[in-house]
Structure 1
Amino acid sequence: MNTPLADRLRPESLDDIVGQKELLAPGRPLRKIIESGNIPNLIFYGPSGVGKTTLASYIARITNRSFKKLNGTTASTADIKEIVSSLNTFEGINGVLLYLDEIQYLNKKQQQTLLEFIENGSITLIASTTENPYFYIYNAILSRSTVFEFRPVEPDEILKAIDRAIRVLSDEKGKEIDFSDEAKAHICSACGGDVRKSLNAVELCVLAGDEGEVIRVDEELAKSLTQRSGARYDRDGDSHYDVISAYQKSMRGSDVDAALFYLARLVEAGDLISACRRLVVCACEDVGLAYPQIIPIVKSCVDIAMQVGFPEARIPLADAVIMVCLAPKSNSGVNAISAAQEDVRKGLGQVVPRQLQNVHADGEERDVKGQHYLYPHSYPNHWIDQQYLPDDVRDHRYYELGDNKTEQAYKAYWDKIKNS
């Protein structure tokens, strides 16, 4: 079985690692820790293909400890106990460095099995995860580890890895490789900051372009082999929530271009449900009473999108996103219900005012008979002043009028009625 190109290009020094300069540049804390040789428990958090495994493997090579590797997707409790048992052998005399990839897939019991040995220093843990460690990793392990976040690699850094890969492939094949600058640029931008994916694309291009003494790779070939690889998106992972969060926040911030970009990512990922749900929420929460007519309009666009499906669904969704971005904004509605909920959660307002209760008959214990509800339609302008809130919250105000044209029109109307 051929070793993947990414593994054949493992770096010989920290300077060979592309990207993550905020962690690994000279003088940065993580680099200083590694260079000290005194490796603490580490957790590397970030998307796939950005150097977590590469750096962990490098650290393992420069340590004197026995190196063990497990993957959380396949590791069992027996595998963990086998590593623990090696501590009592000659192999584990200097301790064990355990590289645990995808630690989020270990259950709590499996993580707890490691805890005692991590705590006393017998095992040094270097774990990697693509999910937020503060949600997925047992707190006791988390508190004994230092978390470093890895980010997608910038295109100019990926280019360094591509050039090195081309040199290695040329040596392996004994042929010149004519890899066009346009092809390199496309791979750099199309692979979503994923170095591993970029290297796989390079290797595929070289294999597909190998027809003579010189292997030629042009932009057309690169595009055909990296066509849909740039959308970093996992419906169950952090990337999913990052995209839909950015989608809604861009609409809230009235940035049409950004909102359309994140909608395009949802469309390319085929995530119709998230695109529709966040759009309706934004219409109600962020436009709301500033332009209430937009709510049924957006609902209609969403209904059309759900009915026709992709690819046509992108059209009514784009129309609705643009309308939400350009509409005036008000969050007075969501603020009002949040304030009211806060009082309810405090246990306030348990007794509904007598005049609003669904009373059919008065008990003998009541000195004052009758409900005394005032029917507003029986009074001028269909309004009469009476108490609606319970006694303990009767003076609380939850709704604050927004400064937009629609809500100010409401204010002018009710100021005239209530002061007449």
Structure 2
Amino acid sequence: MQNEPLAYKMRPRTIHEIVGQQHIIGSATPLFRMIEKGHVPSMLLYGPPGVGKTSIANAIAGSSKLPFFALNATHAGKKDIEQIVMDARMSGKVLLFLDEIHRFNKLQQDTLLPHVENGSIVLIGATTENPFHDVNPAIRSRCGEILQLERLTGDDIIQLLNQALADKERGLGHLEIDITEQQIEKIANASNGDARKALTLLESVYYASDEKDGVTIINDNAIDALAKRIGVFGDKGGSHFYNLLSALQKSVRGSDPNAALYYLAHLLENGDLVAVCRRLLVMAYEDIGLANPSVGAHVQAATEAAVKLGLPEARIPLATAVVEMCLSDKSNSAYKALDSAIAAIHEGKTGDIPNHLKDAHYAGAAELGHVGYKYPHDSPIGTFGGWVQQQYLPDELAGTEFYKPVIAGEEKRMAAIYEKLKSFKK
């Protein structure tokens, strides 16, 4: 055990030792009371790395006293499952912790699922991906609860760090360490809510600091240097990455440049520049739209420049684009109008194209009745250009309005034109 990482050694042994996640397994929760009484339900634990999924499973195992098995779905085979099934038959009931459960294949499921269903195997599945997207419905249906874990708070992390510094059996309590509250807080902040990273950083800082007269004096420079190496919370392509993209768009839509820049920074630190640029370009048309049409061109230029520049320079045009979108007038009327038209088509609200709009660029078109089109440019109307009274929608949809203008920015002018043209129609 001496060679095991500090984060591993400090895992809670029972549910009473769990730090954080009080909304899931705090002493007042139904799950805590069930486990205390010896009943462990099958469940899915969903959340980002380092927030305690494995720790909670181990703590439940320690409190339940059931035979405990742990597998990782990325490399578990059918034989592994069959062995656990055999053990379940021998002992009556076992607890199986299955990490990365979203990678479980059909063959493994077929072997395991009946035993989860009859209760001989209690399954605790863990995943960093959204279980409603990435976990097979057969697994979900047999897990009574889907529990979403949250990133640990700064206070939670500080509590864990202090426990590790005080624990003489499993932690660093047997060592003489000179560390300040400010340094503990700095380590906690660097971990970004990830308990594993916090404890790993503490252990690394200890070994990187100088010793004097048998006392290790924690060095601020060591904390700063090592904190840069522990990585950014989240990963490319995972659920958290898409949550970051969602948070970026909603912050821009909500006109909050500070939040938008924060999420942009997080995304760029994850390194998927192309995905970020694609989302920003969509936002320019989805959320700004007709209220400020020039933004689309600005964001297009910014994203093209970002891709050409690459990181870290790409952050400069992207930051400009994000702030401009945040503080721009906003409208979603154009794409909402298109969505309404699409919905109408799916509802069967269709009709034949009016004859005067059909293609007439061939001999014989007139014989088919494709005549009567009036060319608007031949009928100037003020400074607007050309307009003529003419039906464009099929007869079955005549008079239908899909477009509902938003009175904002440049679209305010367009809305006035739209209403004026409507008034001309007979």
Q: In 2, Cα distance between the equivalents of 1:64 and 1:323? A: 58
What is the aligned partner in structure 1 of residue 269 from structure 2? 268
Q: In 2, Cα distance between the equivalents of 1:239 and 1:414? A: 42
What is the aligned partner in structure 1 of residue 199 from structure 2? 199
> Contact 1:72 / 1:105 at 8 angstroms: preserved in 2?
yes
What is the aligned partner in structure 1 of residue 123 from structure 2? 125
Which whole-Å deviations, capped at 9, do the CAs of 1:92-138 have from their partners, x for residues lacking one?
A: 33322111112111112312321111111111111111111122222
Residues 398-409 of structure 1 aligned to structure 2 (within 5 Å): 398-409=402-413
What's the TM-score once normalised by structure 1's chain length?
A: 0.93
What is the DSSP-based 3-state SS (H/G/I as helix, E as strand, rest coil) of the residue aligned with 2:211? coil
> CA 1:97 to 1:296, structure 2 compared with 1: closer, same or farther past 3 Å?
same
Q: In 1, Cα distance between the equivalents of 2:41 and 2:177? A: 43
What is the aligned partner in structure 2 of residue 31 from structure 1? 32
**Letter of the structure 2 residue corresponding to residue 384 of structure 1:** V
Deviation at 1:363, TM superposition (A): 7.6
What is the aligned partner in structure 1 of residue 219 from structure 2? 218
Q: In 2, Cα distance between the equivalents of 1:362 and 1:277? A: 46
What is the aligned partner in structure 1 of residue 106 from structure 2? 108
Q: In 2, Cα distance between the equivalents of 1:175 and 1:65? A: 35
**Letter of the structure 2 residue corresponding to residue 294 of structure 1:** V
Residues 88-167 of structure 1 aligned to structure 2 (within 5 Å): 88=89, 92-145=90-143, 146-167=145-166
> Contact 1:256 / 1:322 at 8 angstroms: preserved in 2?
yes
**Letter of the structure 1 residue corresponding to residue 354 of structure 2:** P
> CA 1:168 to 1:81, structure 2 compared with 1: closer, same or farther past 3 Å?
same
Q: In 2, Cα distance between the equivalents of 1:414 and 1:97? A: 66
Which whole-Å deviations, capped at 9, do the CAs of 1:57-101 have from their partners, x for residues lacking one?
A: 12212334322221111101121112112334xxx3332211111
What is the aligned partner in structure 2 of residue 330 from structure 1? 331
What is the aligned partner in structure 2 of residue 244 from structure 1? 245
Q: In 2, Cα distance between the equivalents of 1:252 and 1:365? A: 53
Percent of pairs with identical residues: 40
Deviation at 1:7, TM superposition (A): 2.3
Deviates more, 1:399-408 or 1:346-355: 346-355
Q: In 1, Cα distance between the equivalents of 2:332 and 2:408? A: 11
Deviates more, 1:389-398 or 1:240-249: 389-398
What is the aligned partner in structure 2 of residue 379 from structure 1? 379
**Letter of the structure 2 residue corresponding to residue 247 of structure 1:** L
What is the aligned partner in structure 2 of residue 86 from structure 1? 87
Q: In 2, Cα distance between the equivalents of 1:418 and 1:57? A: 68
Residues 223-238 of structure 1 aligned to structure 2 (within 5 Å): 223-229=224-230, 231-238=232-239
> CA 1:79 to 1:243, structure 2 compared with 1: closer, same or farther past 3 Å?
same
Q: Which of residues 376, 392, 415 is equivalent to 1:411?
A: 415
Q: In 2, Cα distance between the equivalents of 1:234 and 1:32? A: 35
> CA 1:22 to 1:174, structure 2 compared with 1: closer, same or farther past 3 Å?
closer
> CA 1:162 to 1:417, structure 2 compared with 1: closer, same or farther past 3 Å?
closer
What is the DSSP-based 3-state SS (H/G/I as helix, E as strand, rest coil) of the residue aligned with 2:184? helix
**Letter of the structure 1 residue corresponding to residue 345 of structure 2:** V
Deviation at 1:265, TM superposition (A): 1.0
What is the aligned partner in structure 2 of residue 175 from structure 1? 175
Q: In 1, Cα distance between the equivalents of 2:417 and 2:42? A: 65
Deviates more, 1:188-197 or 1:396-405: 396-405
What's the TM-score once normalised by structure 2's chain length?
A: 0.91
> Contact 1:179 / 1:216 at 8 angstroms: preserved in 2?
yes
Which whole-Å deviations, capped at 9, do the CAs of 1:40-72 have from their partners, x for residues lacking one?
A: 112111112111111211221233432222111
> CA 1:113 to 1:15, structure 2 compared with 1: closer, same or farther past 3 Å?
same
What is the DSSP-based 3-state SS (H/G/I as helix, E as strand, rest coil) of the residue aligned with 1:43? strand
Q: In 1, Cα distance between the equivalents of 2:174 and 2:13? A: 23
**Letter of the structure 2 residue corresponding to residue 100 of structure 1:** L
Aligned residues: 415
What is the DSSP-based 3-state SS (H/G/I as helix, E as strand, rest coil) of the residue aligned with 1:143? helix
Deviation at 1:362, TM superposition (A): 4.1
Which whole-Å deviations, capped at 9, do the CAs of 1:333-375 have from their partners, x for residues lacking one?
A: 1111111111222343352211111133448985xx4511111
What is the DSSP-based 3-state SS (H/G/I as helix, E as strand, rest coil) of the residue aligned with 1:65? coil
> CA 1:106 to 1:357, structure 2 compared with 1: closer, same or farther past 3 Å?
same
Deviates more, 1:396-405 or 1:340-349: 340-349
Deviation at 1:417, TM superposition (A): 5.5
Q: In 2, Cα distance between the equivalents of 1:349 and 1:172? A: 73
> CA 1:397 to 1:13, structure 2 compared with 1: closer, same or farther past 3 Å?
same
Deviation at 1:406, TM superposition (A): 2.1
Which whole-Å deviations, capped at 9, do the CAs of 1:354-403 have from their partners, x for residues lacking one?
A: 1111133448985xx45111111122321111111112222211111111
Instruction: Give the aligned CA root-mean-square deviation in angstroms.
Output: 2.2
Q: In 2, Cα distance between the equivalents of 1:222 and 1:169? A: 23
> Contact 1:64 / 1:94 at 8 angstroms: preserved in 2?
no
> CA 1:417 to 1:85, structure 2 compared with 1: closer, same or farther past 3 Å?
closer
Deviates more, 1:103-112 or 1:4-13: 4-13
> CA 1:218 to 1:180, structure 2 compared with 1: closer, same or farther past 3 Å?
farther
> Contact 2:15 / 2:25 at 8 angstroms: preserved in 1?
yes
Q: Which of residues 397, 402, 407 is equivalent to 2:401?
A: 397
Q: In 2, Cα distance between the equivalents of 1:82 and 1:417? A: 76
> CA 1:23 to 1:363, structure 2 compared with 1: closer, same or farther past 3 Å?
closer
What is the DSSP-based 3-state SS (H/G/I as helix, E as strand, rest coil) of the residue aligned with 1:153? coil
What is the aligned partner in structure 1 of residue 189 from structure 2? 189
What is the DSSP-based 3-state SS (H/G/I as helix, E as strand, rest coil) of the residue aligned with 1:211? strand
What is the DSSP-based 3-state SS (H/G/I as helix, E as strand, rest coil) of the residue aligned with 2:142? coil
